[in-house]
Structure 1
Amino acid sequence: MGRLEQLRDPSSWRRAFVLVRRFRQEPGTANLRRFDPLVEAVRRERAALPGLGEEALLERARSAATADLADDGDLVGLLAVASEVARRRLGLEPFGVQLSAAVSMLRERVVDMATGEGKTLVGFLVAAGLAATGRRVHVLSANDYLAGRDARAGAPLFAAFGLSCAAVVDGMDHAARHAAYRSDVVYATVHQVGFDLLRDRQRPADAQRLVPELDAAVIDEIDAVLLDDAMVPLVLAGDAEPRPEGAPLAGVVAAMTAGVEYEVDGEGRNVSLLEAGIRALEEHFGVDDLYAEDQVGLLTAAHVALHAQALVHRDVHYIVADGQVRLINDARGRVADRQRWPDGLHAAIERKEGIAVTAQAEVLDQMLVETVARGYRVVTGMSGTALEASERLAEDLHLRTGTIPTNRPGIRVDERDRLYLTAERRDAAAAGRVQAAHEAGQPVLIGTASVADSERFAGLLAARGVAAVVLNAKNDAAEAEIIARAGEHGAVTVSTQMAGRGVDIRLGPRAAEAGGLLVLGLGRYDSARLDHQLRGRAGRQGDPGRSVFYTSLDDDVVTEHLIIGLDPRSVDPDGRINDKRFRQVYEHAQRVAEGKLLQLHRTTRRYHTATDQHRRLVLTTREALLADPAALEDYLTRIWPAGSDEPRRWTRPARRSLAVEVALYHLDRAWARHLNLLAELREGIHLRVLGRQDPLEEFNLIATDDFRTLAHEAAAATRDTLAAASEDAATLADLGLRRPSSTWTYMVADNPFGSEADRFFEFIGRALRGDRPPAISYT
């Protein structure tokens, strides 16, 4: 295998890449070598500490409360002590590269650190440094399992500094959560923190706040949290009135045939009704014109049902388990806990699968994951693929990213992609490669794009006599056990992207001699960053290893983004393409995919920008009513005519608390009504493009106009309720008011069908080329 077929030190090209980006003054990168003198000073000071007695060491640790992390001397002293405490209490002695990462993060940089280089210990050191100097620290982990594990593992180190530590995970009641958030260091997912913030924003006057004011965040796998999950809306919902049954519509749509009543576009991302489909709906529901203004609700519901039927696929976008539709996180390949699509689409899929439709939800409040992250005063983090995300992190959160070298030289071999004409030929070649590696005793990890792909490829291997363990969203509870054995001699593991985060694959006996772990990707992901995560499973801490991607022109990353109107010039008998142009086309398709993801990210943010501003105004009023006694009198004075005695009546000590409850109730109800209006608007706003309107502009106009009425609506309802209240009324129930009897949280998977911008540019492209097929065009 020649030099063009492999890149031997994967860390070297990454370091060179950073230097080139800095030379070109590209945004987001940082030179972490500037902190090398501090790292050397930490190592020198730490060298004198092993002979220090336990009490003396603890005294030095607890004196860190007076340290200033902006002062070089204080930072060096604190990390030296923390390193010695880690050695004694955790049995972990930091390497120089781990100290370099800790120094950089304590100076508010993001670090790119390869898999297996000890990011967990780095997190302990950084969290201890921030908390010891008086900050409230949240360490945001990838999942509940890691949050609980790391909180337990790091507790002895934090205790040496006089710091408390706790984890916030699913299943904890309000009291336990309240106590955990009062710890100096809190381990949790960003979703847990976000949901609890939403609960706080709906709390009544007599309830304690769960989450103290956000201060410092240390984010593990920072690119996954702030890029992959950033635009996920976190929702607090309450029970709502049942909506009309949609089964008749689902039945009509299920009976439709592709190419007759509807058509799916070439990339499989958009679906539209044909004349026969329109007639079928009009005849079934007895309407003259499905596109008439008074039928917009039926038209929207029909499009949602059609999307569910034709575009959302079982074992690709979701699985069905325990009688429930459970979404799959594309970036991680695992079940997305408590995640659902907007009510209309989710219910349509449940009807499609013939399972019970879940309770209709009324949105009480919601916010994006990114909004949670922006709430912290200090943000730092680490990841094995932060470098590729540096520009986005700089753009979104003004964070600068640098790379940390590996502790030992990397010897993993990254082979050039093997590109095939079809997915069938790609899979045959990949299965042959896996079989040969297995027979040689080399452990193999195969990365696939979906549950269906993982099961299908495992079947191909079984036909060749290769028994593979499958890891996907259907058995994610067994992840730790499966991954623990993936590096054993001769092991074969077929996995979705879920095997790419938060776990190490250690080589078993004889596995290194067989060549170390072979990572084989079946097709590339829409983001090169996810490909690099998969590659990073091999070659940890200087282990031998190899990675290669088997790709084809049938891969989604190509078919969903490009139309290729030319043939390769050189193809082997087994279907392998040797035409350099086509390797470039494939890479270009992935860049197009990444561009679309970025555009969707920005579009989603624009849809939420106005709502976030409106929420801040509502919360300002709400918090003032909760905390400031004078705020109630001012509020009531404004809602009654001048000279009215009612404000004085309701600000008396005996009546004040009920008046606050009533004002909060109506403010919350008005806000919930506003959000539910926007949720319904989002489901059908794309249809505005049919009238040559900009959906985003129309959405923001409607949202802003409706918000202008919200304060007046809440004030009028508060005035009417209090004016009609009897003197013996003491609770909301006495006034005939009821908050939702139950609430729950979930995440919304945003529009999975692409953006209106995609369709617009496709239309323009056809117009410019006069419907002549180009060599390569965009979908």
Structure 2
Amino acid sequence: MVGFEELRGEGAWWQRPLGWVGRFRQDPGTTNLYKYAPVVERIVSQRASLRLLGDDELRQKRAPDSTRLDLDDDVELAGFLAVASEAARRRLGLEPFEVQVLAAVSMLRGRVVDMATGEGKTLVGFLVSAGLAATGRRVHVLSANDYLAGRDAAAGRPLFAAFGLTCAAVVDGMGEVERAEAYRSDIAYATVHQVGFDLLRDRQRIPGARKLVPGLDAAVVDEIDAVLLDDAMVPLVIAGDADPQPEGASLTQIIAELTKDEHYQVEGDRRSASYTEAGVFRVESALGIDDLYAEERVELLTAAHVALHARALVERDVHYVVIDGRVQLVNDARGRVADRQRWPDGLHAAIERKEGLEVTGQAEVLDQILVETVARGYRTLTGMSGTALEAAERLSEDLSVKTGAIPTNRPRIREDTPDRLFVTAEQRDTAAAEVVRAAHDAGQPVLVGTGSVADSERFAQVLAERGVEAQLLNAKNDAVEAEIIARAGERGAVTVSTQMAGRGVDIRLGPGAAETGGLLVLGLGRYDSARLDRQLRGRSGRQGDPGRAVFYTSLDDDVISEQLRIGDQPRSVGPDGVIRDKKFIHLYEHAQRVAEGKLLQLHRTTRSYHTMTDQHRQAVLDTRERILTEPDSLDDYLRQVFTDDPARARAWTTTRRRLATEVVLYQLDRAWTDHLNRLAAVREGIHLRVLGRQNPLDEFNRIANDGFRTLGPETVAAVGRVLDNAPDDATTLHDLGLRRPSSTWTYMVTDNPFGSEADRVIAFLGNVIRGGRPPSVTYT
């Protein structure tokens, strides 16, 4: 175990002044967690004496049930964590290291902590969750996926029971009653998507229906950057069945016969595609029409562009996979299937037609909410990650939380080798495969990180041609990832994986693997974010194990080709294709920073377009909740409906109150759905406002506000019309000719591959300025 004096250290002596300056400036990620060292020392001292106590005596050390733990009191906090540490040793067989105790104290004081992979974040989560629950808070532990939520809830239950705390997991397949009971546990493990979907379900409930989520109180987020940043701008959607739309099979067939460059063009960043004049003529001829751009053919034009995007921009085994006859999207940041995720209906249907699959049912979006909006709903938010420092600025900006680093329990001895940059991807793969084969022959375990399902399968085949059999871990087989990862550290094992972020399982070295040099991590090209690179690199060298990490890159990598167009050639290239020209090495790093900047701008822009909508949604929900839970609110609302006839309002509230409540809720929901759909249509064309020298965001907010101002009066009028025409014997919405969706379902809408509003503004202006010429960046 690390000595506490060593724990107090802050790296090499020359690094300390840099840390002091950063803390003085309050730079993100420089929060001083060592100020909690006295509390940690007190905990370590107390827990040593607790070892001598019997179980009954230890149980009595807990605070009495009539009192609540005060996390701001150092003495109370130290006493609780000392008991919790000893309880973890006895009930889980895990005694927290001092650095884990430091992490727990920091998180219970509201900080986000950066802990290296393999340092025991799961146990820290147990301690923090128990501490928050002991204060009387209702705690949600937000995991990266359902598997981890179920696993950790089961693993932590014995410790929580020692404090009289209940624990449950909320996962797919649970019924409504079971879900509601799980959320009423002291500690509930779930994904942020599960919580968001259940909030959306609650917002559709009718009188008499039970509320699933009692409220958002305290959240502990495991892999906080993967959970709340990578998916922060993903809309969670609740949809209802809708009338089927006309089939686009004919368009799919027409587009399939078009030729790139002749009939359509794809922009260099592969986020937009457009028809050439020859392409437009070909489509018009095939459809038997004169003008595809005629005003009366707006819907057909839209369908034609969506079909083109499905053909030209969305790639199988990169953006999606086909499993059991279904299109399943791949989460770019995690390299796995994104559960219940789909593109907007038109594009999703176009992909299904492209693949020759049955088109899934059409849906009408009833409501939606961003993952980030769900996270912002918690009164208290803390978390941990192996790459929280890289995300510190965004965590501070987006969620107003401070981040600090926790030292490793044992000194890290992993060797991080400089990148090897090649001219072509083929040269890169050849060199990487030889390194993997040599390591495999020597018995060293190897983990190869790739950028997509297609890349992982292709490189596994390259290895197979050299006699190396690799285990594949990607979106097509992520159901068995725990089993694959459990063997990835065995002597001579070779594993080829997509992104490792948020997998929640450590790679432990098998017998004899340390003697071969430990785990070799080889990244095949860098990701769009250096944070994801560090996630991959951190799989090696856990808990002081030996290991090595290196990235093999090329000028063909997406991080280069999608950001820059290079106009010159490297001056110094080795016979194996390795680039020795430092200018190009810096250029690769610059391209990655450009990619990160684009992601950040997309994040900020998306949030900006949702801020006003979130405010409007909350106003509607407040009205809805009052109607459901406060009897006087319905009376007040109906008095607005029947301003000239108070007796009519009283008649409805006294004789058919439930039906009146259902009508008001129905019209509120209908008005909100229509408002959302109108705003979605506005967003699609808002970028054109730049032609009139208008700010698209300002114009969007103006239109949204104007529409929302009419929503209330229109809803009141709609309620009045329905109630005025209601038959005397009507008792249900059906009797009034109203129908809620016969079924609802939830899903996530992934990023549109042809860009956000910001992307389209930039692309549109750039195209105008260039006179239609493709973008290029030349470095000389």
Q: Taking structure 2 as the reference length, what is the TM-score of the superposition?
A: 0.95
1:482 counterpart = 2:484? yes
Deviations 1:392-449 (A, max 9, x none): 1000111000000000000000000000000000000000110110011000000000
Distance 2:248 2:278 in 1: 21
Distance 2:446 2:293 in 1: 54
Aligned to 2:58: 57
Q: CA offset at residue 767 of structure 1? A: 8.4
Deviates more, 1:110-119 or 1:677-686: 677-686
Q: 1:11 to 1:671 in 2, by over 3 A?
A: farther
Q: CA offset at residue 673 of structure 1? A: 1.9
Q: CA offset at residue 500 of structure 1? A: 5.7
Q: Which amino acid aligns with 2:599?
A: L
Deviations 1:16-56 (A, max 9, x none): 68556435542353110111111101111111111122122
Pairing of 1:653-664 with structure 2 (within 5 A): 654-664=655-665
Q: In the alignment, which of 223, 226, 229 is matched to residue 224 of structure 1?
A: 226
Distance 2:435 2:183 in 1: 50
Q: 1:72 to 1:576 in 2, by over 3 A?
A: same
Deviations 1:591-647 (A, max 9, x none): 000000001111111121121111011001101101111111111111223244211
Q: CA offset at residue 168 of structure 1? A: 0.4
Pairing of 1:3-18 with structure 2 (within 5 A): none
Deviates more, 1:287-296 or 1:440-449: 287-296
Q: 1:772 to 1:522 in 2, by over 3 A?
A: closer
Distance 2:570 2:449 in 1: 26
Distance 1:169 1:11 in 2: 41
Aligned to 2:4: none
Aligned to 2:49: 48
Residue 390 of structure 2 aligns to a residue whose secondary structure is helix
Aligned to 1:756: 760
State the identity %.
Answer: 69
Q: 1:227 to 1:481 in 2, by over 3 A?
A: same
Q: CA offset at residue 518 of structure 1? A: 0.2
Q: CA offset at residue 689 of structure 1? A: 6.2
Aligned to 2:86: 84
Distance 1:362 1:553 in 2: 44
Distance 1:530 1:24 in 2: 27
Aligned to 1:719: 720
Q: CA offset at residue 715 of structure 1? A: 1.6
Distance 1:750 1:464 in 2: 38
Q: Which amino acid aligns with 1:91?
A: G
Deviates more, 1:169-178 or 1:642-651: 642-651
Q: CA offset at residue 709 of structure 1? A: 2.7
Is the 2:29–2:405 contact (alpha carbons within 8 Å) kept by the matching residues of 1?
no
Aligned to 1:6: none
Distance 1:165 1:87 in 2: 19
Q: CA offset at residue 368 of structure 1? A: 0.2
1:583 counterpart = 2:574? no
Deviates more, 1:113-122 or 1:252-261: 252-261
Deviations 1:282-328 (A, max 9, x none): 33445544334443332222221111110000000000111111000
Aligned to 1:315: 317
Is the 1:448–1:495 contact (alpha carbons within 8 Å) kept by the matching residues of 2?
yes
CA RMSD of aligned residues (A): 2.3
Q: Which amino acid aligns with 1:776?
A: Y
Residue 328 of structure 1 aligns to a residue whose secondary structure is strand
Is the 1:263–1:274 contact (alpha carbons within 8 Å) kept by the matching residues of 2?
yes
Aligned to 1:302: 304
Q: 1:744 to 1:113 in 2, by over 3 A?
A: same
Q: 1:572 to 1:23 in 2, by over 3 A?
A: farther
Q: Which amino acid aligns with 2:727?
A: S
Deviations 1:81-139 (A, max 9, x none): 11111111111101000000000000000000001101010000000000011000000
Deviates more, 1:338-347 or 1:242-251: 242-251
Residue 367 of structure 2 aligns to a residue whose secondary structure is strand
Structure 2, unaligned runs of 5 or more: 1-8
Distance 1:37 1:93 in 2: 19
Aligned to 2:247: 245
Q: CA offset at residue 252 of structure 1? A: 2.1
Distance 2:767 2:731 in 1: 62
Aligned to 1:569: 571
Deviates more, 1:313-322 or 1:712-721: 712-721
Distance 2:51 2:385 in 1: 31
Aligned to 1:264: 266
Is the 2:63–2:69 contact (alpha carbons within 8 Å) kept by the matching residues of 1?
no
Q: CA offset at residue 717 of structure 1? A: 1.8
Distance 1:503 1:644 in 2: 64
Is the 1:62–1:160 contact (alpha carbons within 8 Å) kept by the matching residues of 2?
no
Distance 2:777 2:404 in 1: 41
Q: CA offset at residue 255 of structure 1? A: 1.9
Aligned to 1:3: none
Is the 2:449–2:497 contact (alpha carbons within 8 Å) kept by the matching residues of 1?
yes
Q: 1:319 to 1:15 in 2, by over 3 A?
A: farther
Is the 1:625–1:631 contact (alpha carbons within 8 Å) kept by the matching residues of 2?
yes
Is the 1:61–1:160 contact (alpha carbons within 8 Å) kept by the matching residues of 2?
no
Distance 1:453 1:13 in 2: 43
Is the 1:10–1:412 contact (alpha carbons within 8 Å) kept by the matching residues of 2?
no
Q: Which amino acid aligns with 1:775?
A: T
Structure 1, unaligned runs of 5 or more: 1-8
Pairing of 1:128-167 with structure 2 (within 5 A): 128-167=130-169
Residue 562 of structure 1 aligns to a residue whose secondary structure is coil
Q: 1:765 to 1:53 in 2, by over 3 A?
A: farther
Distance 2:605 2:54 in 1: 58
Is the 1:10–1:411 contact (alpha carbons within 8 Å) kept by the matching residues of 2?
no
Residue 618 of structure 2 aligns to a residue whose secondary structure is helix
Q: 1:262 to 1:159 in 2, by over 3 A?
A: same
Aligned to 2:355: 353
Q: CA offset at residue 669 of structure 1? A: 1.3
Distance 1:416 1:319 in 2: 33
Q: CA offset at residue 739 of structure 1? A: 1.2
Distance 1:554 1:245 in 2: 38
Residue 560 of structure 2 aligns to a residue whose secondary structure is helix
Aligned to 1:741: 742
Is the 1:238–1:363 contact (alpha carbons within 8 Å) kept by the matching residues of 2?
yes
Aligned to 1:522: 524
Deviations 1:245-273 (A, max 9, x none): 22222222222111111111223222111
1:546 counterpart = 2:548? yes
Distance 2:39 2:256 in 1: 66
Q: In the alignment, which of 631, 634, 637 is matched to residue 635 of structure 1?
A: 637
Is the 2:424–2:577 contact (alpha carbons within 8 Å) kept by the matching residues of 1?
yes
Deviates more, 1:408-417 or 1:19-28: 19-28
Q: CA offset at residue 651 of structure 1? A: 1.1
Deviates more, 1:340-349 or 1:753-762: 753-762
Aligned to 1:458: 460
Distance 1:767 1:14 in 2: 53
Residue 380 of structure 1 aligns to a residue whose secondary structure is strand
Is the 1:29–1:391 contact (alpha carbons within 8 Å) kept by the matching residues of 2?
no
Q: CA offset at residue 172 of structure 1? A: 0.2
Aligned to 1:676: 677
Residue 68 of structure 1 aligns to a residue whose secondary structure is coil
Distance 1:163 1:503 in 2: 26
Residue 337 of structure 2 aligns to a residue whose secondary structure is coil
Distance 1:120 1:293 in 2: 58
Deviates more, 1:714-723 or 1:198-207: 714-723
Is the 2:564–2:777 contact (alpha carbons within 8 Å) kept by the matching residues of 1?
no
Distance 1:337 1:692 in 2: 41
Aligned residue-pair number: 767
Q: In the alignment, which of 424, 432, 440 is matched to residue 438 of structure 1?
A: 440
Q: In the alignment, which of 501, 504, 507 is matched to residue 503 of structure 2?
A: 501
Is the 1:135–1:215 contact (alpha carbons within 8 Å) kept by the matching residues of 2?
yes
Q: CA offset at residue 187 of structure 1? A: 0.4
Distance 1:26 1:395 in 2: 12
Q: CA offset at residue 13 of structure 1? A: 12
Aligned to 2:3: none
Q: 1:765 to 1:81 in 2, by over 3 A?
A: farther
